Chain A
């Protein structure tokens, strides 16, 4: 076993970020299970922990744990790239403590206070109230401050090391974009169309532009670490990815502007660029198959390798297939906001981001627990890998059936009336889908527990130390 003193301070900080991330992942699943049960028994925890609060916590804890995981990735690989300790690491540690404390306070407020009067005090201290970015204003400012510190850590370390490699250049620009786009969600307008217009800048551009680029950087580092992929190839693909994301992802934002009262030309722009979005993902499939085949699944880190390959496929299926299915405005007119969106969201986030974070953590575990040249492998991670992927498909399939039911019964046949809504919600296909979804949700949670067990033990036993 290696000593933790081999690690940079920055890497120890990364471990802290990942521990909080995995705890938040658990919280996300607990609240997810509660809301999936509330679909079956709507009176469950009624007036105590309503569906709206649990859903808020389910989604926000997901966003936060993914962010914590990504930040961990930055702090893990940055000293390896610059070959020196991160500049201003003390500030970085303070930022970590502040962020973790802020998240705990916000969660407690969401659980205990939940809602407030429609006044500025509520906006500042309780909740901003807008879907997905419900965090109160003080926490918003805190997030921007923390990311500014991370930006400083990255920029100052590169400056001091005088090593501005291609990957780091992309990271610097992306961190600026992450800060910039988040600010777009901190002002509001009484005009709901204008308000939604800017709100989507955070929700879409954060997730489908800045996060994708950040994940591209992190995946590049993982590929170099576990497959020995050359920097030249990684950087080449990263530039291409940035080009494609900016080419299709940014104006793909338009698919959120279809029905918010924005000008009609957004139907064309949004539909056009969204239709192009799966093209690079199909190309990624070819590359993933090629890489997996050329290396004959041989790597120094089996779990990280499998999670990173799964990332390419998961991204394609979740974002590409399930995204395109309901992205053309002629179809979206009927399917908008149904369970198809939930199915797409579950698969896409799992495919693109959860897989990346798990690959990052396993990559770090190899360095923490094994000596150079040893292979990280085991048995439990395989069950976790299969179980989590199957459970996620199991969650998504019933959601898709439920979405089809809503699209057909509620929208296409019933014409979106209140009665049609109730008809769809009480349709056997919808109701049974919710039961199936809950079942696979439990399976996912069990696999999460096994994942935690694996993360705590992998590499510690002699069986996993193969030369």
Chain B
């Protein structure tokens, strides 16, 4: 492995999780505001996350085990914002319904 590739791997690792977070942030922000623009904007970071992830996967320093782990991470980061938003929305909906029921009972 060359010295340059160590530096590239470090930068790609930094970018990988950072862009995953930015994707999650802007996705949730867009959904909450009901803004298609912000939702679309979040996919720019999803793309960057995938590029960083696949760059790491392509590095010869990683054996098959690590490549599979990284691929699993890429897909997880893609799914988490959507899945998490759905879960959070459901929980708050349920909580709202319960509060409403309690008020009616009172």
Q: A-side interface residues toward B, CB under 8 Å?
A: 230, 232-233, 236, 268, 271-272, 275-276, 278-279, 281-283, 285-287, 289-290, 293-294, 316-317, 320-322, 324-328, 330-331, 334-335, 340, 404, 407-408, 411-413
Chain A residues near B76: list those with CB within 8 A: 279
Chain B residues near A285: list those with CB within 8 A: 21, 24-25, 28
Q: What is the bound-complex CA distance between A434 and B22, given in angstroms?
A: 29
B91 touches A236 (CB 8 A): yes
* Contact status of A282 and B21, CB under 8 A, knowing A275-B73, A321-B14, A331-B9: yes
Q: What is the bound-complex CA distance between A285 and B66, given in angstroms?
A: 26
**A412 CB to nearest chain B CB (Å):** 4
Per-residue CB contact flags for chain B residues 19-49 toward chain A (1 = under 8 Å, else 0) read 0110011011100110000000000000000
B24 touches A286 (CB 8 A): yes
A413 touches B3 (CB 8 A): yes
Q: Does B62 sit at the interface, judged by CB under 8 A?
A: yes
Per-residue CB contact flags for chain B residues 65-106 toward chain A (1 = under 8 Å, else 0) read 110011001001100110011001101100100000000000
A230 touches B29 (CB 8 A): no
Query: How many residues of chain B have a CB within 8 Å of chain A?
Result: 40
Q: Given A272-B69, A324-B16, A412-B6, list of 12 further CB < 8 A pairs? A: A279-B73, A286-B24, A287-B84, A287-B88, A290-B32, A290-B88, A320-B21, A321-B17, A334-B6, A340-B10, A404-B10, A412-B2
* Contact status of A331 and B65, CB under 8 A, knowing A282-B80, A285-B21, A285-B25: no
Chain B, residue nearest A236 (CB): B91
**A205 CB to nearest chain B CB (Å):** 23
Chain B residues near A325: list those with CB within 8 A: 10, 13-14, 17
Chain A, residue nearest B26 (CB): A289
- Can you pick out 21 interface pairs between chain A and chain B where the beta carbons lie within 8 Å of each other? A272-B69, A276-B73, A279-B73, A281-B21, A282-B20, A282-B80, A285-B24, A285-B28, A286-B25, A294-B32, A320-B17, A321-B14, A321-B17, A324-B17, A326-B10, A330-B61, A331-B6, A331-B10, A331-B13, A408-B3, A412-B3
**A294 CB to nearest chain B CB (Å):** 7
**Chain B: interface secondary structure?**
helix
Q: What is the bound-complex CA distance between A272 and B3, given in angstroms?
A: 24
* Contact status of A275 and B85, CB under 8 A, knowing A289-B29, A325-B10, A408-B6: no
Chain B, residue nearest A415 (CB): B3
* Contact status of A324 and B25, CB under 8 A, knowing A233-B91, A286-B81: no
**A349 CB to nearest chain B CB (Å):** 18
* Contact status of A282 and B14, CB under 8 A, knowing A289-B32, A293-B29, A407-B6: no
Q: What is the bound-complex CA distance between A286 and B26, given in angstroms?
A: 9
**A398 CB to nearest chain B CB (Å):** 15
B66 touches A286 (CB 8 A): no
Per-residue CB contact flags for chain B residues 51-71 toward chain A (1 = under 8 Å, else 0) read 000000001011001100110
* Contact status of A232 and B65, CB under 8 A, knowing A287-B84, A325-B17, A411-B6: no
**Chain A: interface secondary structure?**
helix
Chain B, residue nearest A291 (CB): B88
A286 touches B10 (CB 8 A): no
* Contact status of A290 and B17, CB under 8 A, knowing A268-B65, A271-B66: no
Chain A residues near B62: list those with CB within 8 A: 328, 330
Q: What is the bound-complex CA distance between A410 and B69, given in angstroms?
A: 29
* Contact status of A330 and B9, CB under 8 A, knowing A233-B91, A289-B32, A290-B85: yes
Chain B residues near A276: list those with CB within 8 A: 73
Chain B, residue nearest A331 (CB): B9
**A315 CB to nearest chain B CB (Å):** 11
Q: What is the bound-complex CA distance between A275 and B4, given in angstroms?
A: 23
Q: What is the bound-complex CA distance between A135 and B69, given in angstroms?
A: 40
Chain B residues near A413: list those with CB within 8 A: 3
Partner of B13, one of A279, A328, A412: A328
**B48 CB to nearest chain A CB (Å):** 13
Chain A, residue nearest B99 (CB): A230
Most chain-A Cβ atoms within 10 A of its Cβ — which of B10, B69, B92? B10
**B35 CB to nearest chain A CB (Å):** 11
**B59 CB to nearest chain A CB (Å):** 8
Partner of B21, one of A268, A316, A328: A316
Chain B residues near A321: list those with CB within 8 A: 14, 17-18, 21
Q: What is the bound-complex CA distance between A325 and B3, given in angstroms?
A: 17
